Structure 1
Amino acid sequence: MTQAMALVLVGVIFGGGGGGAGLYNLLVQLAAIALIAVNASAFVDFLRRSPRYFVVLVVATLLLPLLQIVPLPPSIWRALPGREMVEQSLTLIGRQDEWFPFSLDMRRTAVAFLAMLPPLAVLILARESSAQHRRQFLVLIAMAGALSVLIGLPQLATGNRMFVFFAEAYGSQDLQGTFANHNTAALFLDIALVALICAMPEVRMRPSLVLSAGGCGLLLLIGLFLTRSRSGMLIGVVPFVCLLVRIYFVMAHGVGRKRFGMAMLLSCLGLGCVVWGGAQVDRVQQSFARFENLNDERPAIWSDTRSAIRRYWPVGSGVGTFDEVFQVDESLENLAPHRAGRAHNDYLELTLESGVFGIALLIGWLAVIVLAMLRAVSSRGIIDLAPGAVFVMLFMQSVLDYPLRSQAILCVAGLMLAMIIRPVNSGPTTVRSGRRTEAVGSL
């Protein structure tokens, strides 16, 4: 468990740059490869003891980019949709009869496969976690979020001209922390808020713990506003709902529920006061002012992405190849001084790159996560609500952005999967928290 937590921390600190931060991503991937080599037996045990459907889904996800970089005979790759320009280009240099991979950029596809190794390592190293370990995981995420804000404050004080991790963040007006994209930074702070809410003990909270948790929550909330991310602030409704659900669970089933419920209600009131007071600060007002102008380039990018999808449907162009193939279908009226780089909608980008295969994998992962969420609700375990809330936020931001293209968020997603998947032979375990005993079921 310690190794998994260390890898998540490495991912959060160094893996927030996305596809443009190759060296930082390589550092995270090398750490994951080292842990995979040291814990080879854990991977064998994962294949043997995990639910069959889950193993199949993980293996299929890993195989997709690997199969796409395997060279194919000319008779096959020429018949694939959208390969006409490739054939014409190779014909000009007399290489049209050579073998060519499914992916239109095998290097990017290979990099996409390597990006899956850190979340895979986290998933396998943390999959047999106890309730105590799962609470520790959530505390780690909350502390990492606070660390990101503390790093971001001096960055912001210097106009993001000093202490920045990534070139994309240089000169930004937003709080970046350990991330290059302010939307991803805001999403991570939302995740940290959920982790903080769900990690706190349900009863008998010491005053010092209440004060520490309140201070951490306030720091995360301030950092969220300072990112100036509209999607991040809107997704902030999920942590608030988690807080309300926590109040309901404790008041309905917990011991000492009146005192705890009153404290949580006061926390909600305090949260409202903080939001109102923060709205009076100029920098926070600028964050809210961004909602007055909702016009951006996303709709135009989405329209051209749909055109590209039709070109490569139903098989796609290869994982990670969006930036290479999108330029062909980008319409003249939508041209901008800079490259789109991403579809700014991960569902469209997934469909373009992987076609029906990617859609099938997405449906499979959705089914696994929804099933796990239903189990968590039925178990009435506060800790078990965190993974579902995190995945809801990931799915929400994927409509407007690309959160899972970051090694940091991928590591967090791997940790959340580890929290909801149990070995096939693990029965319900009893976990004692103060005077209350709760059953933690298996999935």
Structure 2
Amino acid sequence: MRSGDRRFIVFLAFVALVFLTGGGSRDDIQSLVFLRPACAFFIAYALTVGSGTGLARLRVPLLLLLGLAGWMILQLVPLPPALWQSLPDRAAIAAMDHAAGLDGIWRPISLSPSKTLNSLCSLVVPLAGLLLYSVLPDERRRLLPMVLVIAASASALLGLAQLAMGGHGPLYLYAITNEGNAVGLFANRNHNAVLAATMLIFVGHLVLERRPASGRRRGPDLGLVLPLCAGLLLLVVLLINGSRAGLLVGVLALGFVAAYRTAVELGTRRADAMRRADRLRRNLSLAVLGVAALVALALLFARGETIDRLVNLSVADELRVRAFGVISKMASDNFLFGIGFGAFENVFPRYETAALLQETYLNNAHNDWLQWIIEGGLPALALAGAFAAWAVQRGAQHWRLRGAAKQRVRLAACAGFALVLLLAASLLDYPLRVPSMMLYAVLLIALFADPPEPAADAGRRRSSQRR
């Protein structure tokens, strides 16, 4: 077996492990006991077989991830009492220490060190993902969009099976979950919906970049049929899931696919474009008819609660809306150094007003942009700003190369827009606090930073080198 094949098999095993065991954001999920130590072994494997060249191509994302880990470590370092008491929003705790005779205790920046330590440990998943991607050869990196679509389709199929079983039972992988909904491989229906919605971009990529085989074929082209079937499956789950954020992201993803199709057609020669456009019209016409039929079936069999949720606020949604002012105050009070990553759940009750008290509670802010500030402060904002600056610079580099490497640029654009949609969904939820979505996000970053070279270009380059 070739080295590249072995590395790809290891990568597939890692992706399968993360999606099967890392679908929830809670720190008490039992599967984390297996997932995180396994990630350490995958990291060791990648460092053993990797090279400096592969790591150099992902240097900036790796450095930013290590910078985030470094800030989390600093949030756990105990500080002298005088220095700690001078931090913002520490006066009430200092007064309680004084009343209890505990003035000399050294405390870290984090107001919940165990939660921050958990957040630090969670970074092994994205770190392993980046390192394993860096050791893959280009011919295997080209398969990554298909791997991601298969993972999302598996989650969608499991979601349909969950509903077929009556919305409860052993097919739900997590004890605390949205029973009665198509959560798939996740604990939260919104995360399954966002994954399905953003994956429509890669379905479009696989269909539109498919090159027909030379000569006459017998039977359907599986390279077109399978992605189209996956796309229809993802659309169905998106419709019956009941996630408004997922539907919005799905509409934006389909809009991107339409723009992508235009770019592909404009980038080909006129004669080829006419043949390709005719073929695409036939395929997309069938797809539209299939979507219409599936939408009709989804509306026919959809439960009333799903449709109601699309037009009405649930109790949990109402709590999030009413808590926005309190969460904004938390951000303004702690923007300097933050309260410690993961500490939101334990600190929010200090700000919670009597009007917000009810049976449900907020384990996260449901606005990850604000929670990033609340927990990480200015250093976390600086890391986010550095990432944004790098992304703009890398996007400009792709734009300059769009003529010579248009396929690579289009794949990078797909990954970049999918990442933008994930960040947009984070305004209403917390998808990037889930291990499997963390892995998805860093793989999108890797594809954006270093998209694989198309097979045709690689073949021409090797031929020229042999001459």
TM-score (norm 1): 0.88
Candidates 342, 351, 355, aligned match of 1:333:
355
Give the counterpart of 1:323 among 314, 335, 345.
Answer: 345
> Distance between the aligned counterparts of 2:277 and 2:54, measured in 1?
46
- Summarize the Cα distance change of 1:435–1:319 in structure 2 as closer, same or farther, 3 Å threshold: closer
- Tell me the SS of whatever aligns to 1:108: helix
Provide Cα deviations, 1:118-160, integer angstroms capped at 9, x if missing partner.
Answer: 1111112203655532331111111111111222222212333
| 1:262 counterpart = 2:281 | yes
Letter in 2 for 1:230: R
The whole-number CA distance in structure 1 between the counterparts of 2:46 and 2:285 is 46
8 Å Cα contact 2:58-2:446 kept in structure 1: no
Where does residue 194 of structure 1 map in the other structure? 201
Unmatched runs of 5 consecutive residues or more in structure 2: 1-6, 214-219, 462-467
Q: Is the 8 A contact 2:203 2:228 kept in 1?
A: no
State which drifts further: 401-410 or 313-322: 313-322
Q: Shift of residue 53 of structure 1?
A: 4.6
Which shows bigger deviation, 235-244 or 281-290? Answer: 281-290
What runs of 5+ residues in structure 1 fail to find an aligned partner?
A: 438-443
CA distance in 2, matches of 1:315, 1:231: 30
Partner of 2:252: 238
Asked if 1 retains the 8 angstrom alpha-carbon contact of 2:109 and 2:337, the reply is no
CA distance in structure 2 between the aligned counterparts of 1:49 and 1:433, rounded to whole angstroms? 22
Q: Which residue of structure 2 aligns with residue 58 of structure 1?
A: 65
C-alpha distance 242-309 of structure 1, shift in aligned 2 (>3 A): closer
**Which stretch shifts more, 344-353 or 275-284?**
275-284
| Correspondent of 1:219 among 220, 229, 233 | 233
Tell me which moved more, 5-14 or 49-58. 49-58
User: What is the CA-CA distance between 1:50 and the residue it aligns to?
Assistant: 4.2
- Structure 2 contact 27–118 (Cα < 8 Å) conserved: no
The 3 A distance-change label for structure 1 pair 194 and 432 is same
Point out the more displaced range, 58-67 or 33-42.
Answer: 33-42
Contact 1:124 1:418 (C-alpha < 8 Å) held by counterparts: no
C-alpha contact (below 8 Å) 1:8/1:412 kept by paired residues: no
> 1:435/1:275 Cα in 2 relative to 1: closer, same or farther (>3 Å)?
farther
Does the aligned pair in 2 maintain the 1:346–1:399 contact within 8 Å?
Answer: yes
Q: Does structure 1 conserve the Cα–Cα contact (< 8 Å) formed by 2:126 and 2:439? A: yes
Amino acid at match of 2:456: R
What secondary structure is seen at the aligned counterpart in 2 of 1:72? coil
Asked if residue 229 in structure 1 is aligned to residue 207 in structure 2, the reply is: no
- One-letter code aligned to 1:211: V
Cα offset for 1:193? 2.3
Deviations 1:344-373 (A, max 9, x none): 100111111111112121222223334444
The counterpart of 1:350, out of the listed 349, 353, 372, is 372
| Pairing 1:290–2:318 present | no
Q: Displacement of 1:52 after TM fit?
A: 5.8
Residue pair 2:242, 2:310 contacting (<8 A) in 1 also: no
Contact 1:351 1:359 in 2 (8 A): yes
Distance 2:138 2:279 in 1: 21
Matched, 1:149 2:175: no
Counterpart of 1:30 in structure 2 is 37
1:365 is aligned to: 387
SS in 1 for 2:168: coil
8 Å contact kept, 2:240–2:298: no
Displacement of 1:44 after TM fit?
7.7
Residue deviations 1:195-227 (CA, integer Å, cap 9, x gap): 222234432065233222222211111111222
2:399 pairs with 1:380: no
